[in-house]
Amino acid sequence: MPTPAILRCDCGRPWSECVYIVQRSGIHRWLYYRCQHCSREWTVQEDVADLETPVSSDEVLEVHRLLDVEADLVQLFKAK
């Protein structure tokens, strides 16, 4: 999951310790966070990729480069 815009609750707890719910609608995703320590709530809206849009080979190569893994693309596609 992407890192939300608010990295910490006001009480200092990291977002990874908070409870969250994800709602997805079309090209948007909303993440509803709640801190279990202080009960503060906040919402983050993210744009998501359109799954109907084809991915180019250049985009695949760029993601592979960013992954910084030892495996080549064939090995990655075979991995389960």
Give the pLDDT confidence of 32-43 residue by residue, as tens digits: 989 999 999 988
In the predicted structure, residue 8 carries a pLDDT above the cut 70? yes
9-68 pLDDT, tens digit per residue, is: 888 888 788 898 999 887 888 889 899 999 999 888 888 877 778 888 888 888 878 877
Half-sphere exposure (CA, 13 Å, Cβ side) for 29?
A: 14
pLDDT value at position 68? 73
pTM, full prediction: 0.51
For residues 40 and 9, give the distance between their C-alpha atoms in angstroms, rounded to a whole number: 7
pLDDT value at position 1? 45
For residues 14 and 5, give the distance between their C-alpha atoms in angstroms, rounded to a whole number: 12
User: With pLDDT > 90 as the criterion, what percentage of the chain qualifies?
Assistant: 14
**Which residue ranges make up each domain of the chain?**
15-78
Q: Three-state DSSP class for 17? A: helix
